[in-house]
Structure 1
Amino acid sequence: MGASGAGKTTLLNVLAGFTKSQDKVEGSITVNGLPVDSGKMRRISGFVHQEDVILHTMTVREALVFGAILKLPSTMPRPQKVQRALDIAALLNLQKSLDSMVGSSMLKGISGGEKRRLSLGIEMVTEPAILFLDEPSSGLDAFNAFKVVHILRSVAHRHGRTILCTIHQPSSEVFHMFDDLIILADGQVEGAGLGVIYLGEVEGMVDWFGGLGYRCPTYTNPADYLFMEVLNSQVRAEEVTQTSGDGTARVAPAGEASGRGTHGDAAEASPSGEDARITTLIKAWKTRDETAMQRSATSRELLETGISKEAENTAAAFWIQVPLLAQRAARNAWRNPLVAKGKLAQTIFLSVVVGLIFLRIGDDQRGVQDRQGSLFFLVVQGMFGSVMGVLTVFGAEKAVFQREYGNRMYGLPAYFISRWLVELPFHVVCPVLSAVICYWLIGYQNKAERFGWFALTMVLMDTCGAGLGIFVSCLFNDLSVALSVMPMFLLPLMVFSGFFVNSNTIPPYFSWIQYISPMHYGFIALAKNEFSGLQIKCKPDQGCAEGYNGDMVLRNMGFDDKGSVQQNAGILFAMMWGLLILAYVALFLAVRRLTK
C-alpha cells in the first residue's frame, strides 16, 4: 500500500520481471533463498495487470480455454486442460457468463467485475506458485472488490500459493483479509532505495503508527487512517519530530509536544514539513526491531531450497500455438464487423463506383487518358485500402498481443505466421473480387490472359500494402501516431509511381524513391498489361497521328524499358516478402522495448 507515486506498481513490476529494457534496476531478488532473474520469475509466476486487456470478440469460455491450452504443459490432455479452465470459471463465479463475449466500448459484453475476474482466471489456470496483481480492485465497486480479494485469500490459504498485490485504499473488510503488509512512502533516505515505513502483519500496523503518535480513531477503517492521518499531506495539526529515550525516532502531533490538544486549529503542512515527516517515518522503521515477517523470509529452513521444476510454466509447442492462434484470429475477423464483412462491403462498393466512373472506356485518344487514370486509381486504391485496413485492425490488436506475449503465452513466430495466414485470404479474395467487378465494367482488353495478370497484380499490390501496414504499426506504439505518420510513407511512393511524373524526367536525387515504391511496379505492370498491343482509333479532331497505338503510349510514359508485366509482378512478389520481413523485425524490436 501507499499513496499514488510511492512506487507500488514499479516495485511489483520489478519483482515480477516486467521491467523495460531501458530501466536501470539494482539489487537482487531471491525465491526460497536462491537468486532468480526476470525470465525465471515469469516462468514460475502469473501477473494480472491493472488494465484488463483481452480480445473483445472472445467469449469467457474461449478466453479461459485459450489460456489453459497455451500455458499448461503439452503432456496434459486437451480435455483435462478444458476442464481446468471450467474449474477456474466455477471458482471465480463466472459460470453464467461462459458464453458471453468480453466486449468493448463498441461491442456489448461482460461487466467490469467479470472482466477483472476473467483476467485473474487466465493467470490462475496454471496455478502459478506466485501470483502478482496490480490493483486487483481497480474500477470495481465495494462488493465486487470484496469478492475478488476473497477469492485471492482462498487461493493463498487453501492452495498454498503466494499472492502479492498492490492496492490503493481498500475497505475495512478487504483490508483485514490480507495477511502481511508493506507500506511505501515517497522519498528515499540516504540512497537506501524504496521508502518503506512498515513491513509486517496487517494487524500490527495500527499499533506501530500509534506508537509513533498517530492514533487510529475508534471505528475507523485502518486504510483510511493510514492515508488521512499518516501519509496525507493535509494534517490536522503541525507536526514535530521527537526522539524517544532509546534513540528511536518518533513523529508526534504538535499538540502533544506543546501541551495543546490534537484537535486544535487545522494547519496545512508545507511540502518541506511533509518531506520531513516521511523521512522521519522511514528512519523510524529502519531503527525498529526485526519483524516476524522478515525473520520468516530469511529463515534458515528456506534458504537455498531453490525452485522445483514443477513450479515452472512451459509454453505450448509451436505446432499447438499456430493453429490455436489462427483459429482465434479467424473467429475475431468473422465476429468483428469492421474486418471481414466491412472489407467485403467496402471492396464491392468502391469497385462498383470506380467501374461506373470509368464505364466502357473508348478505344480512341480520349480513352487513353481514362485508361491511365483508372489503372492508377486502382493501384492507389489497392495500396491505400490494404495499408489503412491492416494498420487499424493490427494496431488495435497490438495491445492484446503485447500483453499475452509478455505473459509468455506464445512466441513471436507463431503469432506472426498465424496472423498472416488469417489475413492472406482477405488479401486474395478482395482484390480478385474488385478485379472481376472493375475489369469488364471499365472495358479493358477482353482477354483471359490479360485479366489473369491484372488480378494477380491487384493481389500483389494488396499484400504489399498489408506488409507496409504491419511494418508501420509496429514502429509506433500509439495507433493515432501511426495513422498520422502513414501519409508520410505513402505520398512519396505515390508521387513517383510514374503517373504524376514521367519516369525519365525524375531528378536524380529523387529517382531512388521509384525503386522502393510498390505502386511504381504495380502501375507499370497494369499499364503494360493493358496498353501493350492495344489498337487506338485516332479521330481527326483528337490530334493523334495515324498508327498511334498502346506501345507508343507506354513509350511516352517512360515505361518502354521498365521490364515486362511478369518481371514487374515478380518484383512486387519480392517486395511483399521484404515488407513482411521488415514487419517481423519491427514487431520483434517493439516487444524487446517492452521487456528485457
Structure 2
Amino acid sequence: MGGSGAGKTTLMNILAHLDTNGVEYYGDVTVNGKKITKQKMRQMCAYVQQVDLFCGTLTVREQLTYTAGMRMKNCTAEEKMNRVESVLRDMNLVDCQNTLIGIPNRMKGISIGEKKRLAFACEILTDPQILFCDEPTSGLDAFMASEVVRALLDLAAKGKTIIVVLHQPSSTVFRMFHKVCFMATGKTVYHGPVDKLCPFFDGLGPAFRVPESYNPADFVMSEISISPETEKEDIKRIEFIIAEYQHSEIGGAMLKNTRTTIDEFGGYGEEEDDDGENKYNSSFTTQFGILLKRSLRTTFRDPLLLRVRFAQIVVTAVLVGIVNWRTELSGPTIQNLEGVMYNCARDMTFLFYFPSVNVITSELPVFLREHKSNIYSVEAYFLAKSIAELPQYTALPLIYATIVYWMSGLVAWPLTAFIVFVFVCITLTWVAVSIAYVGACIFGDEGLVVTFMPMFVLPMLVFGGFYINANNIPSYFRHISYLSWFKHGFEALEENQWRRIESIPGCTPSDPLLNITSNSFCPAEDGEGILARRGIDTPLYVNVLILFVSFFIYRIIGLVALKVRVRFAK
C-alpha cells in the first residue's frame, strides 16, 4: 500500500519480472532462497492486472476454455476441461458460466465483480504458486471487494502466495490480509503482520497513535502522504517513520527471516534461462487453431460487425443503384457508368476501412495483455485474425457488387463480366482492410488513425484515375498513382466494362448527324476509344494481380508494425 508514485506497482513488476525495461534497480529476487530467472518466474507466477480485458462476445466458460487450451501445457483435453470446471466452482462462476462477458455501452454481460473473479480464474488455471494482483478491488463496492478478497484468501489457504497492491481498502478487507507493506517515496515504511501495525505506530508517540474505531489503513495512508502545501514537513515525518521501522523489532525480524530463508536453502543459487525453450505454453498450430475459432465466434456474435454493416452495405448499394437505375449506354451516359465504377472502388475502401480500424484498435488492448502474458505469439494472432475476417469481407462486397451491378445497367453479358466485377470489388475490400490494419497497428488509437491516415488515403483517391486523367498526371506525381489501389481497381473495372463494348449507340461514324470530333457527348465510338481517352492501357489481369500483391504487402507491413508496437508496449 502507499500513495500515488510510492513505487507499489514498480516493485511488484520487478518481483514478477514484468515491464522492467528502463527501470534501474538493485538487489535480487529470490524464491525459497534461490535467485529466480525471468523464464522461471513466468512459469511459477500469474499477474492479475487492475483493468479487466476480455473478448466481450465470449461467454465465461468459453473464455476459460480458450485460455486453458493455450496455457495448460502437457495436459489432455479432458484434464483441461476438468480444470475449467474446478476453477468455475472455486471462483463462484458456475451460475454465469454461459453468460456473455459483455461490451460496455454495447452489449450487456456479467457484473464487475464477476468479471474480476473471471480475471482471477483465467490466471489460476495453470495452478501458479505466486499470484500478483494490481488493485483487484478497484471500482468495487464494499461487499464485492470483500468477496474478491475472500476468494484470494481461499487460494492462500491452498498454499499460494498472494501479493496484492491496494489503494483504499475498507477496514474489513484490510484485516483479511496476513501481512502488509506500506511504501512512500520508494521506501518501506512498514512491512510486517497486519495485527502488529497499530502497536508499531502507537509506539512512535502520541501523534502517531491510531484512533479507536478508525480504519488503520486510512490512518497510515494519511501519515505517509505528501501534500504540495506541506511537502517538507511530510517528507520529514515519513523519514522519521522509516528510520524507526528500520530499527524496530518488527523490521529486524523481517530482515532476519529473509536471511534465514536464504541460508536454509543453501545461499543464493542461480538458475539459467533455457534460451531454446519456447516461452509459450502451446505450439504455434495450437495457438492458431484456438485463436481462429475464437475470432470466428467473436466476429459473428458482434452485432456491429454484421447487422449494422449489412444494413449499411445494402442501403448504400441500393442508393447507388436507384440513382443510376438501368442506365442505357449512349454518349451522354458514359460518364454516369464510369462514375458507378469509381464509386464502387471508393465504397469498397470507405465502407470497410473505418469499421475495421474500430474493431482492430478495440481489440489491441486485449491482444497486448494476452501476448505479454505469453499466451500466444503475434504471428498466430495476426494470421488467425486475418483469416477469420475473410468470410465477412468476401460476403459483404459480394452483396454490394451484386446490387449495384444489376441495378445500374452495366454490361450484362457474358456472365463472366459480372463475376470479374464482383471479384475486383472483393479484392479492393481486402486491400482496404489491410490498410486499416497498417493504420491501427502503427497508431494504436482510433482517433489517431482517423486523424493521420487520410493524409495517405486521400492522395491515392485523387490520383485514382477518375478525377485526373492518367495522361495528365505530372511525372513527379505519377508514382503516387502507381501506389493507388483506387487506380488499379478502377482500371480493372473499366477494362471489364469497355473491352466488351464494340460500339456506342449514337456515336458511330456511320451516323450522318454525328461528328465525333466536335460532339463532346461522344468521346469515343467504342469501348477501346474510351479506355484510350482515359489513358488505360494496363491489362485487366495485371491490375488484379497488383491488387493481390498490395493486399499481401500491406498485411506484412501491418504485422511488422504490430510486432514493433508489442516490443515497445508496456
Give matches, 1:468-479, under 5 Å.
468-479=435-446
Q: Secondary structure at the match of 2:188?
A: strand
C-alpha contact 1:21 1:594 (8 A) present in aligned 2: no
Which residue matches 1:588?
Answer: 563
C-alpha contact 1:200 1:291 (8 A) present in aligned 2: no
Give matches, 1:332-481, under 5 Å.
332-446=298-412, 447-481=414-448
Letter in 2 for 1:165: V
C-alpha contact 1:72 1:126 (8 A) present in aligned 2: yes
> 1:83 and 2:82 equivalent?
yes
Letter in 2 for 1:553: I
Which residue matches 1:10?
Answer: 10
Which residue matches 1:248?
Answer: none
> 1:538 and 2:498 equivalent?
no
Which residue matches 1:256?
Answer: none
- State the distance in 2 between where 1:397 and 1:111 align: 20
- Cα offset for 1:418? 1.1
TM-score by length of 1: 0.87
Segments of structure 1 that go 5 or more residues without pairing to the other structure are 187-193, 235-267
- Cα offset for 1:197? 1.1
Change (3 A) 1:454 1:284: same
Letter in 1 for 2:111: S
1:555 to 511, 528, 532: 532
Could you report, residue by residue, the CA deviation over 1:202-237 in whole angstroms, capped at 9, with x for unpaired residues?
A: 222222222222111223221122123x22457xxx
- Cα offset for 1:138? 0.8
- Cα offset for 1:377? 0.6
Which residue matches 1:161?
Answer: 160
C-alpha contact 2:440 2:446 (8 A) present in aligned 1: yes
- State the distance in 1 between where 2:500 and 2:108 align: 57
Segments of structure 2 that go 5 or more residues without pairing to the other structure are 508-512
Q: Secondary structure at the match of 1:321?
A: helix
- Cα offset for 1:510? 2.2
C-alpha contact 1:72 1:313 (8 A) present in aligned 2: no
Give matches, 1:117-266, under 5 Å.
117-158=117-158, 160-186=159-185, 194-213=186-205, 214-228=208-222, 230-233=223-226
Change (3 A) 1:546 1:285: closer
- Cα offset for 1:388? 1.2
Aligned-residue CA RMSD (Å): 2.3
- State the distance in 2 between where 1:282 and 1:411 align: 44
- Cα offset for 1:308? 12
> 1:301 and 2:264 equivalent?
yes
Letter in 2 for 1:556: R
C-alpha contact 2:332 2:521 (8 A) present in aligned 1: no
- Cα offset for 1:505? 2.1
Which residue matches 1:255?
Answer: none
C-alpha contact 1:464 1:572 (8 A) present in aligned 2: yes
C-alpha contact 2:353 2:432 (8 A) present in aligned 1: yes
Change (3 A) 1:546 1:25: closer
C-alpha contact 2:68 2:84 (8 A) present in aligned 1: yes
Q: Secondary structure at the match of 1:338?
A: helix
> 1:275 and 2:235 equivalent?
yes
- State the distance in 2 between where 1:232 and 1:142 align: 23
C-alpha contact 2:524 2:530 (8 A) present in aligned 1: no
C-alpha contact 1:103 1:109 (8 A) present in aligned 2: yes
Give matches, 1:283-322, under 5 Å.
283-288=243-248, 290-298=251-259, 299=261, 300-302=263-265, 303-304=267-268, 315-322=281-288
C-alpha contact 2:424 2:492 (8 A) present in aligned 1: yes
Change (3 A) 1:552 1:399: same
Change (3 A) 1:15 1:270: same
Which residue matches 2:510?
Answer: none
- State the distance in 1 between where 2:67 and 2:463 align: 48
- State the distance in 2 between where 1:509 and 1:204 align: 78
- State the distance in 1 between where 2:3 and 2:482 align: 57
Letter in 2 for 1:343: R
Q: Secondary structure at the match of 1:138?
A: coil
Change (3 A) 1:223 1:373: same
Which residue matches 1:497?
Answer: 464
- Cα offset for 1:181? 1.6
C-alpha contact 1:32 1:306 (8 A) present in aligned 2: no
Letter in 2 for 1:10: T
Change (3 A) 1:22 1:473: farther
Could you report, residue by residue, the CA deviation over 1:294-340 in whole angstroms, capped at 9, with x for unpaired residues?
A: 3333321234467899xx99512222222211111111112110112
- State the distance in 2 between where 1:292 and 1:307 align: 28
> 1:507 and 2:474 equivalent?
yes
Could you report, residue by residue, the CA deviation over 1:319-364 in whole angstroms, capped at 9, with x for unpaired residues?
A: 2222211111111112110112333222222211111111112211
- State the distance in 1 between where 2:21 and 2:499 align: 55
- State the distance in 2 between where 1:183 and 1:95 align: 36
- State the distance in 1 between where 2:81 and 2:562 align: 31
C-alpha contact 2:280 2:376 (8 A) present in aligned 1: no
- Cα offset for 1:526? 0.8
